[in-house]
Each structure stands twice: as structure tokens, then as C-alpha cells.
Structure 1
């Protein structure tokens, strides 16, 4: 029995150290439920005190009412004791069930904003090239776990996709193999696989296959310089030597070199004489 009392006091001390102050309702409420579950009084937060039974009601009914009333007083006092003084003044007139509902309405907007901020932080996580993978995955896992505590759990498949999508280009081969093999891993299992992949990437940084859209995979281990495209140059036609005009040879009329027959002065003069003589002859014949 003494051990149970010690355990109860130990659990209550957790809430007494981290009192409700208006910014930590979700954590405080989760701790409160843990303590009351251990003390078998959690039902007080989920059910209002029933109406007081009549004096002639069955004893079991009167005992149940008495126990619920007493437990509600104990839980209400414990809740007030773990709140800031300002909240105590506002809620001390309420019993435990009413107090919890009032707090939920009061901090509903806070919970919504916290969910939005956590979701935004999760989706904006991007791992820088060369950064260690373990802190990055643990940071994302923290956001995922926090959303679950807020009452909005993320499925294992979506959590895996978010982490894979946040990895840099050096992990593209790992991501491709993971998806092609239809792997189903928890975040913790994926974390271990990524640590192994990180070791291999650091060991052989040039051996990572780079996947490009619609172009398959590049060759392993080559420098990016090898893939730089050379500027396009149109093939110029080869300069063929144009046939040179033949040099002037020996005239076939005067047998002198340096000109052709058609350019020979003697030949042209002789040609004129022949035409003149032919003209004279044809004129005399007509007479």
C-alpha cells in the first residue's frame, strides 16, 4: 500500500513542477489524464456528477454517487493546485468535469494554432546537401510525434514520403530503390536505413547514380565536367580547290606561245583578208 502511495505522489509531482500557465494546456492535460488513470479517477473528467439519489434509493446507487462526488472534489483540488494563480481564481468555483470543459474551450484556439505551426514546420523541413541525416530525421519525427499528441496522427506511409521528399539530391538513388521495392517501413526503421545510406555516400561520393527526368541514369563516378555540352558548331563544307583555268599554250596558227588561235592577230588579219577577197569575187561574178 505504501508503494502505491509513493507511486501516486511521484506521478503528481510531475504536474506540480510544470503547472498550467495558459501556454502548455495540451501537455498539462495529457499528464493529468495519466495521473488520474493511475489513481482510477479518470472517469471524473469524462462524466459529470450524477443527480443525488433519493434517501430511499438502493445503497449501491447512493454509494456510487458519494464516491463520484468525493473523487470529483479530490480531482478538482488537484487540478487547481497545478494551475497558475490567475487560472485558479477563474476556475475554483467549478467542479472537475466542468473545469475541464471550460479549459478545452479556452485553449481550443491555442491547440489549433499549435497544430498549424507544427504542420508548417514539418512540411518545410529540407535537408541540406552534406548535412548529417540523423538530426534531420529526428527533427521531423519530433514534429510527427507532436501532431499525434495533438490528436492528428500521420499515417506511416505519409510520414515516410515526407521524409524521403526532404532529402537532398545525393539520396536520389536510395529514394528510387525504396519506392521501386514498395518498402513499408516505420520512421525508426527508415532512420536506420538512411544512416547506412549516408555511410555509403560518404565512402563513395562519386558512385551515387543521379536520376534525371525522362533521361534514365547517368554513368557512375564521373565528374560533372564530363557532361557539359560542347557549343554547337555547324560543320563547314570543306574548301575544294576550284579548277584553275588552263594556262594559254601554243597558237596553232602562228605556232607562237602565249595565246590561243582565236586571239592570234595574224589569224584575225588573215581571216579579214579572206572575207574581203570572198566579197570581191562574189561581186564580179554577179556582173
Structure 2
């Protein structure tokens, strides 16, 4: 079956357009350091499409042409050509400071250095944020609004560091951070077994806090919590997100 010149040209044009589209994804957000994880993920997607991802994991070893087998020479040339193409993509999608530093590297050696520079730093940052999140406690005199929003910022930062948080886990961590005077609130909240978003929990705590201050009571009764939860359950909420709305402000429903 013969292929016309026009068909070949169309196929080549399609491939070039696809390559340009994929590369544009990477160039939208150049590597600056803290975005290393996102940048590397996009890079691997592009190289998987091109069939060249192997150059990130395999060092380019020089061969002695005088003793190389007939199969080794073309394999080396293919690896060399692919590595050259990939290094151009990697360097092009970096900020100028990193371009100058890595312009003479090959992909495999560059990946090792990038892991040392940025991936380990991100791992340390992830550990620090997790530690801070787990240590969060609502202290006497602190507004529950500020407390919950601080925990939410930690959750959002972890999500940016590729740590996935289930809705229930975020809520459990907030409940665990409350002082003993909220024990009855937590107990009744669990007994009610109502599916609640973090935004709703935030508003429940605001209402509870307001009632405790108004009545000058050290804790909240089960009847109060049940009434609040049932009242909140009758309101429609957007369940598409666990993020707090209205940063810097406290919303009461």
C-alpha cells in the first residue's frame, strides 16, 4: 500500500502541532525551583509521548568505536540524539539562572542534581508543614475563625506539594485540634453522622463559639450542637470543594 507525499506531509504537520502543544504546557510555567514537582511531571508526560523518557533514568555512556559492536553504535547514536533533544527542552523551560547552570549537563545527570537541589527541599518542607498542621491547637483567647483558616492554609500548601487530603481527614484534624470545652460538640457532631463539608464545620464552630461567649459557659451542650447541626443540614451547600471561602473573613450561615 503506497502513501502519497501529501499524506506524509499532513502526518508530519500533525505531529509537529502535537509536539508544539505539549511543549507549550511546559513553557507556561518554567522551572524556578519550588515548582519542581509540577515541572517534572509535565516534562515526563511530554517525553512519554515522544518515547524519550528513558534518557532521564539512563546515563549516556560513551563507546569505543573501534571495539563497539554493530548494534552498539546505532544504539549510542539514538541515545545521544534523544538526550540532546531532551536537554534542549529541559533547559528551554527553565528560568535564565538555571539555564546558565545546566546548559552543559545531560538529562540523567541533570535529574540527579535537580533531585538533590529541589526534591529533597520539598520533602523537608512537606514534613515541616505536616508537623505544623498536626501541632495545631485552638488556644484560650484565640478566635476559632483564625484557627480553622490557619489549618486550611496548611492543607492547601500540602495539596500544592502533591499531598492529597480527603475531606473527612481534614475535618477530623480540625476536630482533634479543639480544646476540651468542645468535647461535647465533637461527640454530638459524630453521633449526628451528618455529612459535612469543612466550610460547614467552620460555620458550626463559629456559631458555637458565639453561643459560648454570649452565655458565658465553659462548654457547649449536646442539645445546642444538635440544633446547630440540624439547622445547618437544612441549608444547601456546594459540595464540590473543601476549601474555605472568604479568606480573611468569617462567614456565618
CA distance in 2, matches of 1:48, 1:18: 27
Instruction: Structure 2 unaligned segments of length 5 or more: list them.
Output: 1-10, 212-219, 226-253
Whether contact under 8 Å (2:155, 2:165) holds in the other structure is no
Structure 1 position 20 matched with structure 2 position 31: yes
Q: Do the aligned partners of residues 7 and 70 (structure 1) sit closer, same or farther apart at CA in structure 2, a change above 3 Å counting?
A: same
Q: Provide the residue aligned with 1:123 in structure 2.
A: 134
CA distance in 1, matches of 2:15, 2:94: 25
Superposed, which structure 2 residues align to 1:1-287 within 5 Å? 1=11, 2-52=13-63, 57-59=69-71, 61-107=72-118, 110-123=121-134, 128-129=143-144, 139=153, 141-148=155-162, 161-166=172-177, 169=182, 171-173=185-187, 175-177=189-191, 192-194=196-198, 218=221, 220-221=223-224
CA distance in 2, matches of 1:95, 1:67: 14
Aligned length: 197
- Once the 2 structures are TM-superposed, how far is the Cα of residue 91 of structure 1 from its aligned partner? 1.9
CA distance in 2, matches of 1:7, 1:167: 52
Relative to the length of structure 2, the TM-score reads 0.56
SS of residue paired to 2:27: helix
CA distance in 2, matches of 1:154, 1:195: 15
Instruction: Structure 1 unaligned segments of length 5 or more: list them.
Output: 182-188, 207-216, 223-287
Whether contact under 8 Å (2:170, 2:198) holds in the other structure is no
The answer to which structure has the higher helix fraction is: 2
Tell which deviates more after alignment, 64-73 or 45-54. Answer: 45-54
1:171-212 deviation line (CA, Å, top 9, x unaligned): 51355438xx8xxxxxxx97x455666788899998xxxxxx
CA distance in 1, matches of 2:15, 2:117: 34
Whether contact under 8 Å (1:144, 1:159) holds in the other structure is no
CA distance in 2, matches of 1:221, 1:48: 66
Q: Do the aligned partners of residues 124 and 146 (structure 1) sit closer, same or farther apart at CA in structure 2, a change above 3 Å counting?
A: farther
| Greater RCO, 1 or 2 (C-alpha within 8 Å, sep 6+) | 2
Whether contact under 8 Å (2:26, 2:43) holds in the other structure is yes
- Once the 2 structures are TM-superposed, how far is the Cα of residue 80 of structure 1 from its aligned partner? 1.2
Relative to the length of structure 1, the TM-score reads 0.51
1:29-87 deviation line (CA, Å, top 9, x unaligned): 2332232223221111011124437576244x443332221110001111111222232
1:155-181 deviation line (CA, Å, top 9, x unaligned): 999666424324683851355438xx8
User: Which structure's CA Rg is the greater one?
Assistant: 1
Whether contact under 8 Å (2:133, 2:151) holds in the other structure is no
1:247-276 deviation line (CA, Å, top 9, x unaligned): xxxxxxxxxxxxxxxxxxxxxxxxxxxxxx
Whether contact under 8 Å (1:121, 1:143) holds in the other structure is no
